[in-house]
Amino acid sequence: MNRPGPALRVGLFGAAVTVLGYALFAGWLGLHLVRHQDARDRATSLAIGVVVADGIGDAEDIRVRWTDDEGRTHVQRFGVYDTGRHTEGTRFPVRYAPGGTEGFPADPDETAAEDDLLVPILLAGLVALPLAGVWGWRGLRFLVTARFPGRPMTVRVRRRTAGRGPKTWLELTAPDGTRRWQRVMWHPATTDVPDATPVRVHGRSPRRPAVVALPDGTRLVPLGRPRHRRPAGGFLDEAVRTDLRDAFLLPPGTAAGPALPWRGAAWAAAAGTTLGTATGITLTDASPTGTIALTLGGAALAAAAWALSDPQPR
């Protein structure tokens, strides 16, 4: 039998962009975390600074003035957890490397700077793991379901027009007249399927997702459980071809099958990049580290969401 075709490519793209996006995001922040920890380990000198401003920004950071052993005065912003204790005018011990200009809180419990780098890595992992897992689960379910014995049914391909973009549904009819509706990932083979085409429907039970095998051997990837009632929303009466044959007269023998709108992935990534950059500038006060991290995360998340949206020709 034929492979899922576009469904496989979309699945591989979705999983790859999720894993790669997380790797870049975590790698960028992890690199800065390691550098920060190394610099803090080298900070062996102690200075007693004074808090000159508190309650800065949404995180209520503080600004401290401190003087190193060479008599140079520094004014530096710190993120702290105990904001009630570090108020304007109070003393704030600072550790720094001899001859260096960057200070660190001497209190070992004040790890806000490190946590600002570590926590996003962990939170992003909690998002990336389920996103990649969706594709693994779909693939495993498809392979397992396709192994069950097939039942003869007839199919009518329907295109749902309501909601966020078109979706492909199969109206399946059993020999006894029982009908059910199964949503599937788009495949070009569905564009020219006549009504009442005989198919083989593989599945564990009528209540579980079914893999429909078309006469040419194409197996369609199911999305969600089948429905025994017509889904709400508008449907086109028949499958609509959306390839070049609808607009041009092609030479005989020229194949011009429909293709997925992969430009949508580029647009989604561009939108995610823009949104991530704007969010980074807003939330991190234009910090290069945080802004670049959110830019990478926004691009990957938007592209992964595009893949999960079941893209198909319009």
**Could you tell me how far CA 3 lies from the centroid of its own chain?**
25
**Model pLDDT, residue 163:** 62
**Model pLDDT, residue 192:** 83
Residue 16, φ and ψ in degrees, nearest 5: -65, -45
Gap between the Cα atoms of 105 and 87, Å rounded: 14
Single pTM value for the model: 0.84
Angle CA(10)–CA(310)–CA(229) in degrees, nearest 5?
140
**Model pLDDT, residue 231:** 81
Residues in Cβ contact with 194 at an 8 Å cutoff, skipping those fewer than 6 apart: none
8 Å CB contact between 78 and 62: yes
Quickly count: other Cβ atoms within 10 Å of residue 19's Cβ.
Answer: 16
DSSP letter at 102 equals -
Gap between the Cα atoms of 113 and 90, Å rounded: 20
Mean pLDDT per 10-residue run, the chain (314 residues)? Answer: 76 96 97 96 96 92 95 95 94 94 94 95 97 94 94 92 78 94 92 91 92 94 91 60 41 54 90 96 90 96 94 80
